Amino acid sequence: MKLQNKQLCQTRQEKIMYALDKLECMSRSQLQSLFQLKSVRNANRVLYNMSPFLNHKRLHENVYYLSKKGRQHIGSEKNKPHLTQLEHKVRRNDIYLYYGCPKDWKVERPNEWRIQGETSKLISDARFSLHGVICFVEVDLKQKMLENKKKIKLYHSLFQALGQQQALLIFYTTTSVRKERILSWCQEYKVNAEILTIEDFENYFL
């Protein structure tokens, strides 16, 4: 059993590393929730024990990402994530966990389509499928509302180009005021959307 425990521990460490490789970074509470690390104290200890493989940066709580050694350990070919948008990435992970960790979750995937002879491009923060519906994720933390409106317009065009394929825009924003605004634009442009705010996630983890 001791050997088994050690193997289980190693397996859990590797799973954590693969998750961090996939999502670029995760907050302590996200890791605690995803890997059932029980208490905060225990989660911190587990992550501290992995310190050779992990780096962290403190935001409202520690946000962990793979160190060079960690990336080498799992054979990752990715580079160190940019630390300037950690908060944005952590919020994007909220959506990932909220939708039950979709297997086909892809981040920062460019979308290119042609409609009425005009080519358009859009990089969504993430993309995945849910019961046959293509879901596009947008995280808005500090973005200007005008930019959000432009994006919704682009999604309107993208959804038209998708034709019969069902699509959903999942928009994650900070306040209920912004949520209402975004929702009204989605209705105006007939974009099938779900708008979530930080409050929606407050009681979700743990």
Partner DNA sequence: GTGATAGCCATCATGTTGGA
Partner DNA sequence: TCCAACATGATGGCTATCAC
Residue 5 is a binding residue for DNA (CB under 7 A): yes
- Pick between residue 60 and residue 80 the one whose CB is nearest to DNA: 60
Q: 148 vs 3, 138, 141, 168, CA distance in Å?
A: 53, 9, 11, 16
Residue 9 is a binding residue for DNA (CB under 7 A): yes
- Contacts with DNA in 23-82 (CB under 7 A)? 28, 37-42, 44-48, 57-62
Q: How far is the CB of 44 from DNA (least distance, A)?
A: 4
Q: How far is the CB of 28 from DNA (least distance, A)?
A: 4
Q: How far is the CB of 92 from DNA (least distance, A)?
A: 18
- Pick between residue 29 and residue 124 the one whose CB is nearest to DNA: 29
- Pick between residue 11 and residue 184 the one whose CB is nearest to DNA: 11
Helix (H) / strand (E) containing 201: helix 198-202
CA-CA-CA-CA dihedral for 106, 80, 11, 97, to nearest 10: -40
- Pick between residue 84 and residue 116 the one whose CB is nearest to DNA: 84
Give the span between the Cα atoms of 192 and 169, in whole angstroms. 6
Q: How far is the CB of 7 from DNA (least distance, A)?
A: 9
Residue 11 is a binding residue for DNA (CB under 7 A): no
9, amino acid identity:
C
Q: How far is the CB of 90 from DNA (least distance, A)?
A: 11
**SS3 state of residue 122:** strand
- How many C-alpha atoms does 200 have within 13 Å on its Cβ side? 18
Give the span between the Cα atoms of 19 and 126, in whole angstroms. 15
Contacts of 88 (CB under 8 A, 6+ apart): 125, 139, 141
- Pick between residue 93 and residue 148 the one whose CB is nearest to DNA: 93
Of 174, 31, 169, 32, nearest in space to 91 by CA = 174
Residue 142 is a binding residue for DNA (CB under 7 A): no
Q: How many residues bind DNA (CB under 7 A)?
A: 25
- Pick between residue 37 and residue 95 the one whose CB is nearest to DNA: 37
Positions that interact with DNA (CB under 7 A): 1-6, 9, 28, 37-42, 44-48, 57-62
